[in-house]
Amino acid sequence: MKFRPCIDIHQGKVKQIVGETLNDVGNPVVENYVSEHDSSYYAEMFRQDGLDGGHVIMLGDGNKEAALKALRTYPNGLQIGGGINADNALYYLENGASHVIVTSYIFEDGELKQDRLEKLVAKIGKENLVIDLSCKKKDGKWFVVTDRWTKFSNIEINHATIKQMEQYCDEFLIHAADVEGKRNGIEAGIVENLAEWVTIPTTYAGGVRSLEDLEEFQKLSKGKLDITIGSALDIFGGDLSYNHVVRFCAESES
């Protein structure tokens, strides 16, 4: 179980927000934390701590320069997501990203756009692609959500979906959007299922607030999934020690 750090950027600043409150209609975004440090500060921290495979997420427009600053501080150590498509993916890889993360570009109108996925893979290679299968629960099942987690797709997260998608990417990133940013504990059901289904590196996000949650996650995932933590960490205004998390996950790998 690896710890995958994150740098979420909103309006050019490193922030932790409740993701489902991000919108285009002027409603206020719920901010858990706004950092006084820029993106390169965190990228350098993660580089020094040997934490690779973390992700930089651009939350809306106006975040390109801040994102590039992080990528150039830690070349090939970070992935990038947020508005990635076939036209700009190669640009971010050439500017230091190890992988690009896509979701809404390949999921539109509730469906998988197979032609877009194949076009992207042809352009950058599956080895550079992370598919974001962030999801919410409905009628006892988990479905991919898009457009900043505001719209349900008709794509259920299940064993068949995972097997299909694994053919096109190097990794998965899966936010449990119902609990993400709320520090209410992990979504145990999806963690257990993913551990049974996935055969490629997969990072889970959502709800971790304590070392006890990490222990539960490790037990439920059987060490098969990686973890990312945002607003609960003390480096982002929370109570959970970043250093303790780094140490816990390093010990779990050894």
55-77: average pLDDT: 96
* Domain span including residue 245: 6-253
pLDDT band for position 25 (cuts 50, 70, 90):
very low
Does residue 1 lie in a domain region? Answer: no
Pairing verdict, β 111-112 and 107-108: antiparallel
Q: Which of 45, 48, 36 is nearest to 6 (CA)?
A: 45
216-224: average pLDDT: 95
SS3 helix, strand, coil % of the chain, rounded to 5? 35, 25, 40
pLDDT for 28 equals 63
Instruction: List pLDDT tens digits, range 94-108.
Output: 999 999 999 889 998
Q: Which of 148, 124, 126, 144 is nearest to 135 (CA)?
A: 144
Distance CA 18, CA 149 (A): 11
pLDDT band for position 20 (cuts 50, 70, 90):
low
pLDDT for 128 equals 98
Does residue 219 lie in a domain region? Answer: yes
pLDDT for 104 equals 87
Distance CA 173, CA 175 (A): 7
pLDDT for 53 equals 97
**What CATH number is associated with residue 127?**
3.20.20.70
DSSP state letter for 234: G
pLDDT exceeds 90 at position 60 = no
Residues whose CB falls within 8 Å of the CB of residue 155, separated by 6 or more in sequence, listed in order: 107, 110, 111, 112, 143, 144, 161
pLDDT for 146 equals 84
Instruction: List pLDDT tens digits, range 37-59.
Output: 999 999 999 999 999 999 999 98
Instruction: List pLDDT tens digits, range 194-206.
Output: 999 999 999 999 8
Q: What is the mean pLDDT of the chain?
A: 91
Does residue 107 lie in a domain region? Answer: yes
pLDDT for 77 equals 98
Does residue 42 lie in a domain region? Answer: yes
Distance CA 205, CA 187 (A): 9
Instruction: List pLDDT tens digits, range 161-182.
Output: 999 999 999 999 999 887 665 5
Does residue 215 lie in a domain region? Answer: yes
> Which stretches of the chain are DSSP H helices?
39-48, 64-73, 89-94, 114-124, 159-166, 188-197, 211-221, 242-253
Does residue 202 lie in a domain region? Answer: yes
Pairing verdict, β 97-102 and 78-81: parallel
Instruction: List pLDDT tens digits, range 109-163.
Output: 889 999 999 999 999 999 999 999 999 999 999 999 987 777 899 999 999 999 9
pLDDT for 84 equals 96
Report the domain count for the chain: 1
pLDDT for 19 equals 53
Distance CA 122, CA 14 (A): 32
**Whole-structure pTM value:** 0.92
